[in-house]
Homo-oligomer: A and B are copies of this chain.
Amino acid sequence: MPELRKDIVTREWVIIARERAKRPHDFTHTKKALEELPEHDKSCPFCTTNEDKTPPEVLVYRPVNSGPNSPGWLLRVTPNKYQALIGQGDLNRENYHIYDHMNGVGAHEVVIECPEHNLSLATMDDKQVERVVWSYIDRYNALREDTRLKYFLVFRNHGVTAGCSLAHPHSQIVATPIIPQKVWGKVRGVTQYREYRDKCVYCDIIKTETDLLDRLICENGSFIAIAPFASRSPFETWILPKNHRSCFAKMSRFEVEQFSAILKDVLGRLHRCLNNPPYNYMIITSPNDTDTLDTFHWYLEITPRLTTPAGFEIGTSIYINIVPPEDAARYLREA
């Protein structure tokens, strides 16, 4: 019997289709193994010596001062060459007949995570993963000085199926001049739970999953990784701070170390269990708005791209998941 489960924050239902249930090795894909890629690719705009192929860096970590936009860096952040939203100009929000539109003002940046072309967060050394997380925080704090910007999304696309067009390890940061409806939906869910129960829904999720254990993947002192009860896709994984924290950019140095460690651990488990699967991850954090700042509970969501959403998902936003999260968590615990 298939099962319908409800996400208690977004109120979205998912269908857990046990009859179609698959195991990790049922998901085969033809992605080039990382090991087959060269450490340096002359044609890659993110490799060293090609610093002039990207817009000038807005943040760089360099061990010695070798001059801007030149080799010797450990991590670079530059504006995306093809920006979805741009930094200059006024919003000019206007009516257009019955419709509503505005200029595409915002920011769109690329975090080039390391000089090596053929690493991933699962295979980088620990210190480098920490640098990636610090770059998210540094850019978040710099961008939020701009009062036109209302929401910041840090995300990572890994693999062609996940919408990644360049193999060189990189993340992206987009800042939007509006709070996205999807984020409003989560803020609303968190707020309503708090009004009704006077506590944080994500803190309750953490408590429940720590008691039940069957959807727990791994944990350390500060963070926990779980397969969420209403997982929309096979092997969906959330990494949450165990203590209530609304904004990822307020992590202490110790929390950054712990977060980097569990992120690398979880991505390594996915890498081993599913043979370097395509995935997206997103950091879901409080909007840049002091009213909601304390009520939210930030987390990182990993969505492996193992199945194709089709007409049913587009028409209803109900996802059919062919791997029950209890199975996914067991596979990942054992990986």
Interface residues of A (CB under 8 A from B): 1-6, 8, 10-13, 15-17, 19-20, 82-86, 89, 96-104, 151, 153, 155-157, 161-164, 172, 174, 176-178, 180-183, 201, 204-205, 208, 211-212, 229-230, 280-282, 284, 301, 303, 308-312, 314-318, 320
Copies in the complex: 2
A174 to B157 CA separation, bound complex (whole angstroms): 31
Judging by beta carbons under 8 Å apart, are B163 and A311 in contact? Answer: yes
A-B contact pairs, 28 of them (CB 8 A): A1-B86, A1-B104, A2-B84, A2-B85, A2-B103, A4-B103, A5-B100, A6-B100, A11-B181, A13-B180, A15-B84, A16-B104, A96-B229, A97-B212, A98-B204, A99-B208, A153-B312, A153-B315, A153-B316, A155-B310, A162-B308, A162-B311, A163-B310, A163-B311, A183-B316, A280-B311, A282-B314, A303-B314
Among A164, A282, A314, find the residue whose CB has the most chain B CB atoms closer than 10 A.
A314
CA distance A308 to B305 in the complex (A): 11
Q: Please, how many angstroms separate the alpha-carbon atoms of A281 and B157 in the complex? A: 27
B20 in contact with A82 (CB, 8 Å): yes
Is B86 a contact partner of A2 (Cβ separation < 8 A)?
yes
Minimum distance in angstroms from A170 CB to a CB of chain B: 11
Secondary structure dominating the interface of A: mixed
- Using CB atoms, name the residue of chain B closest to A93: B4
Q: Which residues of B contact A205 (CB under 8 A)?
A: 98
**A3-B204 CB under 8 A given contacts A312-B172, A316-B176:** no
Contact B4 A102, beta carbon cutoff 8 Å: yes
Alpha-carbon separation in the docked complex, A176 to B10 (Å): 18
How far, in Å, is A315 (CB) from chain B's closest CB?
4
Set of chain B residues within 8 Å of A309, measured between Cβ atoms: 163
Q: Which 6 A-B pairs have the closest CB atoms?
A: A163-B310, A2-B104, A155-B311, A282-B315, A180-B316, A182-B317
**How far is it, in angstroms, between the C-alpha of A178 and the C-alpha of B1 when the chains are bound?**
17
Within 8 Å by CB of A4, from B4, B11, B178, lies B178
